[in-house]
Amino acid sequence: MRRRRGRRSIAIRDGRIASVAPADAQLSAAREVEFDAHVVVLPGIVDSHVHVCEPGNTDWEGFATATKAAAAGGITTLVDMPIDSVPATVTVDALEAKRAAARNQCHVDVGFWGERIPGNLADMQRLREEGVLGFKCFLIDPGVPDFAPLDTVGWRRPSR
């Protein structure tokens, strides 16, 4: 990997780094921000395993405190695990409850995992369409009553 040294221009498009170029490169921008020479710009960190327990168990950890702590530590995105909140993220209604709880409280970007449990196979496609980033499942008993593990039947796609 080649190290980039010295001053650089960073082009941002749709909230993402589009290019890194020499400082004198002619990049089009709606706005330009200059930093002092001692400032180092680093990409944000994504924490993909966070248990935000809101709604339902907000006293354990809610969106306001979880995302403030993330921002303080340099985390720019966190992905919420589907358990420890009530309701758990196993249906679209539960996902909407999570999003409603998060609304106007987040200090960083937030994504959501869905949960695959016995009996919710039909919900998985809808959850994906509504934006969950992936699915968690248990293969052994996790000791949480709402999260029974999948057996070999639970892993199979229904025949068509």
Helices 121-129/92-102 angle, 10° precision? 40
Task: Give yes or no for residue 37 having a pLDDT over 90.
Answer: no
pLDDT digits (tens, 9 = 90+) for 108-159: 999 999 999 998 888 999 999 999 999 999 989 888 877 888 877 666 665 5
**pTM of the predicted structure, to 2 decimals:** 0.74
Centre a 10 Å sphere on the Cβ of residue 115 and count the other Cβ atoms it contains.
23
Buried (b) or exposed (e) across 80-110, using 16+ Cβ within 10 A? bbbbbbebbbbbbebbebbeebbeebbbbeb
pLDDT score for 154? 64
- 14 band by pLDDT with thresholds 50, 70 and 90: confident
